[in-house]
C-alpha cells in the first residue's frame, strides 16, 4: 500500500513537472528565460507555489530544466526526422527542412526556443548561459556529423570545408526563423530553402540527387 501511495505521488509530480515545463518553454520562447518565476508559473497554472518550488527549488533550476525540456523537443522535431533518410546529401537537406518546419509551425510560440534565449544570456557567465551554449554547440555539431556522413558516403565532395558549410547552413535556416518572428511573414523560409538547396547542390558529389528538391 505504501508503495502504491509513493508511486502515485511520483506520477503526480512527474505530470506536474511536465505541465510546468510546457508552460515555461512557451513563455521563454517569447519573453526569454528571465520572464520565468516559480510564483508566476504556479499562478498561471493554478498550482501551489510551494508545490512548484518543491519540484525545482530555485528560479535558476527552473530555467535549466526548461532548457533541457526544450532540447528534447528540438531533438524530436529537428534531429530525429533526419534518421528517416539514408546518410548522404539528402539527409543534410532533410535536416535543414526539419529546422525550417519546426520554426514555421511554431512548435514554440516564439519560434526557435534557442534563438530566442541565446542573445538574452550571451554576455553573462552563469550555468544558464553554459547550458544554452552547450545546446547550440550540440546543434552545430549535429549538422557537422550529418555532413561528415554525407562526405564519407560520397554525397558531399571530399574537398569541401565542412566547418564553413555548417556555418552557412545554420545561418540560413536561423535567419529564416528570425525574419519570421520579427516581421510576421514567412517568405524567409522559402528563401532559405532555395539558398540551402543551391549550396548543397554546389558541394554535392552528384548534384542530380537534389534535382527535384526532395530527399527521397
pLDDT by residue (tens digit) across 48-99?
999 999 999 999 999 999 999 999 999 999 999 999 999 999 999 999 999 9
Other beta carbons within 10 Å of 118: 16
pLDDT tens readout for residues 131-145: 999 999 999 999 999
Are 132 and 117 in contact by the 8 Å Cβ rule? The answer is yes
Determine the pLDDT at residue 176: 98
CA distance 94 to 216: 9
Determine the pLDDT at residue 14: 84
DSSP, collapsed to helix, strand or coil, labels residue 195 as helix
Nearest CA among 195, 157, 160 for reference residue 174: 195
CA distance 177 to 115: 8
Determine the pLDDT at residue 216: 41
Nearest CA among 91, 86, 93 for reference residue 201: 93
CA distance 42 to 29: 18
DSSP, collapsed to helix, strand or coil, labels residue 20 as helix
| Per-residue CA distances from 39 to 17, 20, 45, 68, 163 (Å) | 14, 11, 10, 21, 43
pLDDT level of residue 212 (50, 70, 90 thresholds): low
DSSP bridge pairs for 204: 156
pLDDT level of residue 6 (50, 70, 90 thresholds): low
**CA-CA-CA-CA torsion sign (197, 199, 95, 180):** negative
Question: For 152-179, what is the mean pLDDT?
Answer: 97
Are 25 and 13 in contact by the 8 Å Cβ rule? The answer is no
Q: Which domains does the chain have, with CATH numbers?
A: 58-210 (1.10.357.10)
Tell me, letter by letter, the H, E, C secondary structure of 61-81.
HHHHHHHHHHHHHHHHHHHHH
Could you tell me if residue 88 is left (phi over 0), alpha (psi between -120 and 50 degrees) or otherwise beta?
left
Amino acid at each position: 500500500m505504501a508503495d502504491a501511495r509513493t508511486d502515485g505521488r511520483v506520477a503526480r509530480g512527474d505530470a506536474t513537472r511536465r505541465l510546468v515545463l510546457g508552460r515555461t518553454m512557451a513563455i521563454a520562447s517569447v519573453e526569454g528565460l528571465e520572464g520565468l518565476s516559480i510564483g508566476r508559473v504556479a499562478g498561471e497554472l493554478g498550482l501551489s507555489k510551494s508545490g512548484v518550488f518543491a519540484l525545482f527549488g530555485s528560479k535558476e533550476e527552473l530555467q535549466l530544466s526548461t532548457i533541457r525540456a526544450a532540447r528534447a523537443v528540438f531533438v524530436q522535431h529537428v534531429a530525429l526526422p533526419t534518421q528517416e533518410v539514408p546518410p548522404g546529401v539528402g539527409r543534410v537537406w532533410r535536416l535543414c527542412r526539419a529546422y525550417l518546419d519546426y520554426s514555421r509551425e511554431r512548435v514554440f510560440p516564439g519560434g526557435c526556443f534557442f534563438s530566442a534565449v541565446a542573445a538574452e544570456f550571451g554576455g553573462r557567465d552563469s550555468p544558464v548561459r553554459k547550458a544554452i551554449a552547450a545546446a547550440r554547440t550540440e546543434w552545430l555539431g549535429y549538422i557537422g556529423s550529418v555532413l561528415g556522413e554525407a562526405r564519407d558516403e560520397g554525397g558531399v565532395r571530399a574537398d569541401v570545408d565542412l566547418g564553413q558549410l555548417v556555418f552557412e547552413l545554420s545561418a540560413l535556416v536561423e535567419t529564416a526563423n528570425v525574419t519570421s518572428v520579427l516581421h510576421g511573414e514567412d517568405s524567409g523560409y522559402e528563401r532559405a530553402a532555395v539558398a540551402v538547396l543551391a549550396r548543397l547542390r554546389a558541394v554535392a558529389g552528384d548534384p542530380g540527387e537534389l534535382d527535384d528538391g526532395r530527399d527521397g
